Amino acid sequence: MNHALRSLPIFDFSNLQDSTSMLRWLHPDPLDKIIEDIHTHFAEFPLPCQLSSFNVHGFPDWLTLLTPEIDEAYAEFQSKVGLAFEFKANVTLRDNSHFCIYGVYTWIGCNILETEDVIDKTWLDETARLSHYGIDGFLSNRLHAFSH
């Protein structure tokens, strides 16, 4: 077996399949962006570890917001979108011990009507649940607080 292939993490984004067109509001290659965020997060993990797998659990919560902005002589609209989904990540430590991390990944963007000008922010909250970080929780708060 090729040892390099054994070290590659397995990503399961099947529960985001129906959301692909909406994810493109945030980034032209949204799954690559999510993978990049995940790798960055685990590279900063307090213990040296290797990500073995990352699975999206359940379907994401989506929230969109369109608010008017008055700018001198005309009104324009600021468009924002946010999504949050639960995940399960399997991690291997240097001593070959394994553990699972559960949490919520949140991605918010504004200016989504102007694709090249999207401004976004992501969070990866470990031990979080969608019931607290989804549409009825922090997703709404984060979306309303986020501005360009």
pLDDT per residue as tens digits for the range 26-64: 999 999 999 999 999 988 888 788 899 999 999 999 998
Q: In this model, does residue 138 exceed pLDDT 70?
A: yes
State how beta strands 98-110 and 119-126 pair: antiparallel
Percentage of the chain surpassing pLDDT 90? Answer: 51
pTM over 0.95? The answer is: no
Cα separation, 76 vs 65, whole angstroms: 14
What are the tokens at 78? 């600021």
* Domain chopping of the chain, boundaries: 3-145
Report pLDDT digits (tens) over 110-135: 887 765 678 899 999 999 999 999 99
Of residues 43, 63, 59, the one with CA closest to residue 51: 43
Contact 57, 39 (CB under 8 A): no
